[in-house]
Structure 1
Amino acid sequence: MRKVLLLAVAILVLGILAACGGSDEGSGDSGSEGEGSSDSIKIVAAHNQTNEENPYQDGLLKFKEVAESESDGNIEVEVHAGTIGTSESELVEKLKTGAADVVLVSPGFMTSTGIDEVNLFAFPYLFDSYDHWESVVQGEVGDEMGQIINEESNNDFKLLGYWTAGVRHYYGKEPINSMDDLEGKTLRTQTSGVISDFWEQTGAVPTSVAWGELYQALQQDTVDSAENAYPYFVQQDHHNTDNGQYITETGHDYTTRFLLTNGNKFDEYTEEQQEIINQAAEASVEAEWESLYSQEDEYKEIAQEDGAEINQIDRQPFIDLAKPLQDEYAEEYGVTDLLEKVREAK
């Protein structure tokens, strides 16, 4: 009986020691992992283009490369090319809810959040060159717009940088040699706001077609024409459709896109993480611009090789038409001062 009792006590003591040892070891491991997890974050970065040759993809891959290398892998970036949303409204919503951390959106979709001022960057013929555009977004106007976005969204959105989606041109079933040639033509574009008003005043009929359905709409004569930049419509083969083979370089929009993160979540990161994210964003801007600029020439050549016909047009009548619309909408959105600064930067 005594032997049995001693054996039971020994087993109990060993069990206690093992538990204490395991607890100490586990405590040490979880503490180490806890420190690692507090220093490690995962960022979901997304755009709405499904073609991975797109400049958006190049920009986000550069963001990933810099963020991960500068953080020694403590910042992981997961890039999605249209896989968590092919519409910008989806991406904006995911950013607000935390399902995405970095997204790319256009001024038109930002207005759905109630920030009307960003529509300034959608005004037709606001810019006359990339040099003009770059000087504006990298200068005082760009800084002020970033503050507006952050303040009016209550820190839901923080601007990380300005990207571009190229220079938009007209393409359709026949070339346009003057504004009169647009009379009565259905044109896939925005159907409200300053962009719609502008095209209506040219004589065209703004028509809504989802981007993913536009190839079929052009091929089946649902719309007569559309407008976009070479890397986008050529990658989608719109120039090979019956109603997309004639390109007229109207150059009506040097586009602006916003690289956004959730400001509230960004504020929770450490100062080092914030610095690395900002550094990655700057690198992504340079990479996206470089990719877009080179692809504009590349895809214009592809369009010509595929048989598309490209013509130039006198843009001055279009510019003259756009100017009073710019004034009207700038007053409506409360950005008259910013509009004047953009004009002075030419």
Structure 2
Amino acid sequence: MLKKVVMMLVLLTAILVIAACGNNNEEVDNTGAADNSNEEQNNNDQNADAEADDGDSIKIIAAHNQTDPENPYQDGLLAFKEAAESESGGSIEVEVHAGTLGTDEAELVESLQVGGADVVLVSPGFMSNTGIREIDLFALPYLFESYEHWEQTVDGEVGDEIAQIVQEESDDLFKMIGYWTAGVRHYYGKQPLESIDDLDGMTIRTQTSGVVADFWSQTGAVPTDVDWGELYQALQQNVVDSAENAYPYFVQQNHHETDNGRYTTETGHDYTTRFLLINNERFESFSEEHQEILLSAAEASVEAERQALYEQEDEYKQILLDDGGEVNEIDQTPFIEIAEPLQDEVAEEIGVTHLLEQIRDMR
């Protein structure tokens, strides 16, 4: 009997030992399986991240204030869109707004500041409202004597320095990515100008503050604020006597067909500069590759916009004449005699006398 009990105890002990060994082996196998599962998941996560980077895309809102689809601004931004989307293989999408984010340039600057737009086109006068006074240099009347003179300036050291100033004084909010032109501006109004004296007391739609307004005030005219989108009606209804702009811009808007826009006098007072700006905070958030593509697209836009404008200067002057508008020339000397002291005064005030001298030396 005792022998049977001992044998049963031995057998039970053996069974327990075997069972314990089986459990230990199962734990080891499960641990190995878990390690393999974790490794596989990590690899999957890394692959997913890589795929996300490869498929990363951005959307750029680009805007100008002109509503006519034939405007050179539109040509420039469409060239920007085409180059950015093509060079990025579609990972950059550009949405172009022609006047739909505002026909007032101040609205576009505000949109750029608050993130409603990523790329905008604005003039020096409206940009100076942000407190960056140095850019008033490019708003000075009779600063340039030809398109060649203008290009040499903005594409050279002067343009580089102004671009750096814009970025620094905006606390890195604005980045200059291109200089466009809006043509050479002339007077147009209810009567031709035979001499500067004809401007005395005449209301003219132009900027109502800054160096541009000071210039027109000194000619005897009265600077008057009218939104670009409302100017046709203002000229037609005698709200203002005159305005000033380049042929492609005011002829496309049919200003020459109004009672107060029929007569153009080629004052040639401004070879205009326009700033193509990008929100720098957003720009810096992009990958290096996307940044390079956007800068390349900006170069394409500069070339396209300038070419379109130069071709349209003569084209739209002829359209004006064909529509019954009248054009005359005028001695610009009295205008220049007002402009040059104003240039000196403003350049000293805003600390860019050295840049003014560089521009004059390039004539």
Instruction: Flag whether TM exceeds 0.5 (same fold).
Output: yes
Amino acid at match of 1:36: D
How far is the alpha carbon of 1:295 from its aligned partner? 0.9
Q: What residue number does 1:197 align with?
A: 214
- TM-aligned CA distance change 1:223 to 1:261, over 3 Å: same
Q: What residue number does 1:135 align with?
A: 152
Identity %, equivalent residues: 68
RMSD, matched Cα: 1.7
Q: What residue number does 1:145 align with?
A: 162
* Partner residue of 1:248 out of 252, 256, 265: 265
Q: What residue number does 1:265 align with?
A: 282
How far is the alpha carbon of 1:82 from its aligned partner? 1.3
Q: In structure 1, how many angstroms separate the alpha carbons of the residues matched to 2:49 and 2:188? A: 61
The aligned runs of 1:228-239 (5 Å cut-off) are 228-239=245-256
Q: What residue number does 1:82 align with?
A: 99
Q: In structure 1, how many angstroms separate the alpha carbons of the residues matched to 2:239 and 2:112? A: 34
Q: Which moved further from structure 2: 329-338 or 122-131? A: 329-338
The aligned runs of 1:310-329 (5 Å cut-off) are 310-329=327-346
Give structure 2 stretches of 5+ with no counterpart.
Answer: 1-36
Amino acid at match of 2:124: P
* Partner residue of 2:60 out of 31, 43, 49: 43
1:340 aligned counterpart, secondary structure: helix
Deviation sequence 1:41-90 (CA, Å, 0-9, x none): 21111111111111011001001111111111111111111112222122
Q: In structure 2, how many angstroms separate the alpha carbons of the residues matched to 1:217 and 1:71? A: 44
Amino acid at match of 1:245: R
Query: Does 2:193 match 1:176?
Result: yes
- TM-aligned CA distance change 1:278 to 1:189, over 3 Å: same
Amino acid at match of 1:146: A
Query: Does 2:291 match 1:274?
Result: yes
How far is the alpha carbon of 1:113 from its aligned partner? 1.1
Q: Which has the larger radius of gyration?
A: 2
The aligned runs of 1:5-24 (5 Å cut-off) are none
Q: What residue number does 2:108 align with?
A: 91
The aligned runs of 1:278-289 (5 Å cut-off) are 278-289=295-306
Query: Does 2:361 match 1:344?
Result: yes
How far is the alpha carbon of 1:278 from its aligned partner? 0.9
How far is the alpha carbon of 1:36 from its aligned partner? 3.4
Q: What residue number does 1:31 align with?
A: 49
2:77 aligned counterpart, secondary structure: helix
Query: Does 2:308 match 1:291?
Result: yes
Q: Which moved further from structure 2: 99-108 or 29-38? A: 29-38
How far is the alpha carbon of 1:220 from its aligned partner? 1.2
How does the TM-score come out when normalised to structure 2?
Answer: 0.86
Q: What residue number does 2:184 align with?
A: 167
2:121 aligned counterpart, secondary structure: strand
Q: In structure 1, how many angstroms separate the alpha carbons of the residues matched to 2:223 and 2:113? A: 31
Q: In structure 2, how many angstroms separate the alpha carbons of the residues matched to 1:42 and 1:217? A: 37
How far is the alpha carbon of 1:321 from its aligned partner? 1.2
Report if aligned partners of 2:103, 2:227 keep a CA contact under 8 Å in 1: no
Q: What residue number does 2:15 align with?
A: none
Q: In structure 1, how many angstroms separate the alpha carbons of the residues matched to 2:202 and 2:187? A: 12
Give structure 1 stretches of 5+ with no counterpart.
Answer: 1-19
How far is the alpha carbon of 1:97 from its aligned partner? 2.0
Q: Which moved further from structure 2: 218-227 or 151-160? A: 218-227
Q: In structure 2, how many angstroms separate the alpha carbons of the residues matched to 1:122 and 1:169? A: 14
Q: In structure 1, how many angstroms separate the alpha carbons of the residues matched to 2:205 and 2:110? A: 25
2:198 aligned counterpart, secondary structure: helix
* Partner residue of 2:140 out of 117, 123, 141: 123
Q: In structure 1, how many angstroms separate the alpha carbons of the residues matched to 2:161 and 2:153? A: 11
Q: What residue number does 2:74 align with?
A: 57
Q: What residue number does 1:69 align with?
A: 86
Q: In structure 2, how many angstroms separate the alpha carbons of the residues matched to 1:234 and 1:161? A: 25
Q: In structure 2, how many angstroms separate the alpha carbons of the residues matched to 1:232 and 1:149? A: 26
Amino acid at match of 1:233: F
Q: In structure 2, how many angstroms separate the alpha carbons of the residues matched to 1:315 and 1:343? A: 17
Aligned residues between the structures: 324
Amino acid at match of 1:250: T
